[in-house]
Amino acid sequence: MAFIAETNTLSSPLSNPLQAPSEPWNTASLTMNRSSRYASLKTSLDPAFHDSDPGVPNDAKPDGVPSHYTWYESATQPGFGNHPPAGWHAITMLGHVYPAQGWKTWQAPNTRIQIKGAETWILSKSTKTWKQVQKTDRVAGASYVADFAGDANQPADIRDESRNGGGISVAVNNGYLFHFWAERATMNPTDIAGVYAKFEARLVKANPNGVDDLDSARYIASAGADYWRNHHVQWAADWSNNGQVAGGRFKWVARHWKVFAMTTMPAEEIKKNPPPLNF
């Protein structure tokens, strides 16, 4: 867990915090206005390189989060970025799913959030090439109190979705979020020129034979990553064992698959030399 309760300097309110989820990625636009490397990506989904753009508002505010938290309004900007502390050797992607502020989860009781495709890529400073250090559909996580107070959490309602497109699905209630992560990977703290982390999410029915209330659901999600001292240390309240790489903004989760991502590089820079994604 790497959200930190700091004062947020971004104060512009969203004009319509519960607007309808955005439209699916248009695959026909993949080759428009892109470098040859960017255009060659084998992706049927938007890789979301703009999710960490500074100052771009979240699609909605996360329910139960104090307004002074830095990620209440927009993407969390780089913590350690490309410069983890000396002697730290582990990294992991992470993610968060919240109900949107002003919406109650009882309004869509047959909706769950499905998550898969967790990946982390590191751009080598020495070779200028990307290395994939994490790739899994099986993330771990828990139901945390919305503001992370005291790191309080409880087991989440997790369901296997390997026969329904992969990964897991979860139920999330007001006052809580689903905070999740992949098993830590090894990184070289002196050879990082960029980091990209992502997962995919969509809405699914809790009871496949029940009412379809997916269009009534208002859940938002974001991606991030943490550096860790090593593979084995536990979280410490003084943040001596882990710290944030960077974070992405909160976007609507919809009935179609969507990528939620984080990068330490400006979007236009990563487009010139993107990781060789294939999803």
Residues 146-169: tens digit of each pLDDT: 999 999 999 999 999 999 999 999
pLDDT given at position 43 = 73
Phi, psi of 268 (to 5 degrees): -70, -25
Instruction: Look up tokens 């993610």; give the residue.
Output: 95
pLDDT in tens, 199-210: 999 999 999 999
pLDDT in tens, 93-144: 999 999 999 999 999 999 999 999 999 999 999 999 999 999 999 999 999 9
State residue 76's pLDDT score. Answer: 78
Contacts of 144 (CB under 8 A, 6+ apart): 1, 151, 152, 153, 176, 177, 178, 179
| pLDDT for 3 | 47
- The mean pLDDT value of the chain amounts to 88
Q: 21 falls in which pLDDT band (50, 70, 90)?
A: low
Q: Indicate the pLDDT class of residue 12, thresholds 50, 70 and 90.
A: very low
> 246 vs 91, 134, 209, 242, 269, CA distance in Å?
12, 17, 40, 12, 16
In the block, tokens 């004062």 appear at 7
- In this structure, what token pair is assigned to residue 163? 């026969």
HSE-CB for 178 with a 13 A CA cutoff: 26
